[in-house]
Structure 1
């Protein structure tokens, strides 16, 4: 019977496998090949360089800065987003009063979830336009105008948010966290709702406060969900191309003076502005390998036996 099903199943899988190989595997294989050449992208002429492009990456100061900036976001962006999302999810689901009906979330939690999730439905272009107004470097920007009204900033010298090398990465971190925290709050809320209420009620009857309940019950039971969220946020932190390009000064993003440069921005500019497609492919391969290693390490570190409840 199984042998009779094999042609039927193979017939359904053949087309998806061919499409996947054509549009995913094949471009990646070509990228790896071109990373060993000096291909300019617009001609068939190419010379084989071996590991020359990868050796050049080790001496490229702009690329090294971009790696450090990606590492900065890779550490702080997932950590901050997950902490805020966990706090909001716990507050909205089990942070309210307990009564005869059991443990409740705060009043109006449904409305709060919609409001907090709203940034997730905005496109990157809208987020860029929004925060260009918020972080304007004159007194008309929302943030600068507020600080001037409070007397915290001199009106003659407003804060240069995205033009200040010391502030630009922190501003980008804020935008990334703001735009992503709502989605993970909803994700963690859904995971918390799957935890039986009797567990929380038993903990409250035993005299456990909200903090011990969160750290000893909620967080351990959400470990798998948090692990997956951390991997996805890590990928977002390694990208950030659209936000950096739209929000930071200088052509192609990454300013001022490469202070907000990310690997994706260096890769794009190297390929399409400088015409060094082979070198850019080497950057892409390095970024892809690092992303895969990140996912493997994260999943291995957080792997455990499934908890049944």
Structure 2
């Protein structure tokens, strides 16, 4: 009976595994193969050039700049998003006034969760149009209009938010954080609601404050959820092509002004489609893949803790 289960398991797994290999693994293998050629992307003709594309990458100042911007995103985006989502989730679920009912969330917590989650239902195109209006370079833009009304900005010299080399990338990061906090707030809220209220009540009876309950109870019990969030946000930081290409100035897929908001994804697409350097672009894709993979493994290993059961 025991030996008969293996053909049964194989029969169920062979089709999905074959599809996964064909549709996911094989394109990765092909991309690595193309990265070793001078393929233009427009024809089947290509010549094997070995690792020349990879050696050219790190001599390319634009690629190095884009890599630095992605590393900045990898630090700022997960850290800011997770901290804000944790703070709001804790306040919504545990931040209400204690009373005879014990620990409870703030009044209207369900409504606030819907409001915070709302950006998740908006497509990238809508986000881009919305925030292009926020960052408009005249007084009709929300930010410039508010700053002018407060007397913090000269109406004749409004800030060029997306066209300013010092602000362009930070404006995009702000949109990414704004659109992502709501999702992770709901994720952390679901994890917090699974924690028995008795634990919080016992801590409060022992004299623990809100801050102590957060760091001593909430954070350790949510650690695995935070790990997962960090990995997903790291992937998002490496792949925010749509927002950067639609919001920032510059010819062919944004990245401007003068590559000050360039990221690896926009540079890859420009080389592949516009410049006809598909082999070079595939080398960038391989680098992105390994950076994402290595950082995900490292983050999971570094943040690994003993599982806490409750």
Q: TM-score, normalised by structure 1?
A: 0.98
Q: 1:48: Cα distance to partner?
A: 1.0
1-structure distance, mates of 2:2, 2:304:
33
Q: 1:135: Cα distance to partner?
A: 0.5
Q: 1:221: Cα distance to partner?
A: 1.1
2-structure distance, mates of 1:42, 1:196:
60
What aligned pairs does 1:111-150 form with structure 2 within 5 A after superposition? 111-150=111-150
Note the alpha carbon deviations across 1:170-199, whole angstroms, 9 max, x for none.
111100000000000011111111111111
What aligned pairs does 1:1-309 form with structure 2 within 5 A after superposition? 1-251=1-251, 252-309=253-310
Note the alpha carbon deviations across 1:187-235, whole angstroms, 9 max, x for none.
1111111111111111111111111111111111111111110111011
For this pair of structures, how many residues does the alignment match?
309
1-structure distance, mates of 2:255, 2:286:
21
5+ long unaligned stretches in structure 1: none
1-structure distance, mates of 2:304, 2:158:
48
Q: 1:3: Cα distance to partner?
A: 2.3
Q: TM-score, normalised by structure 2?
A: 0.98
2-structure distance, mates of 1:85, 1:197:
20
5+ long unaligned stretches in structure 2: none
Note the alpha carbon deviations across 1:40-68, whole angstroms, 9 max, x for none.
11112111111100000110000000000
Q: 1:22: Cα distance to partner?
A: 1.2
1-structure distance, mates of 2:163, 2:200:
49
User: Which aligned segments of 4 or more residues in structure 1 are displaced greater than 4 angstroms?
Assistant: none
Moved more, 138-147 or 281-290: 138-147
1-structure distance, mates of 2:70, 2:262:
8
Note the alpha carbon deviations across 1:248-296, whole angstroms, 9 max, x for none.
0012110000000000000000000000000000000000001000110
The alignment's C-alpha RMSD in Å is 0.9
Q: 1:6: Cα distance to partner?
A: 2.4
Q: 1:153: Cα distance to partner?
A: 1.0
1-structure distance, mates of 2:187, 2:257:
36
1-structure distance, mates of 2:46, 2:22:
23
2-structure distance, mates of 1:130, 1:228:
29
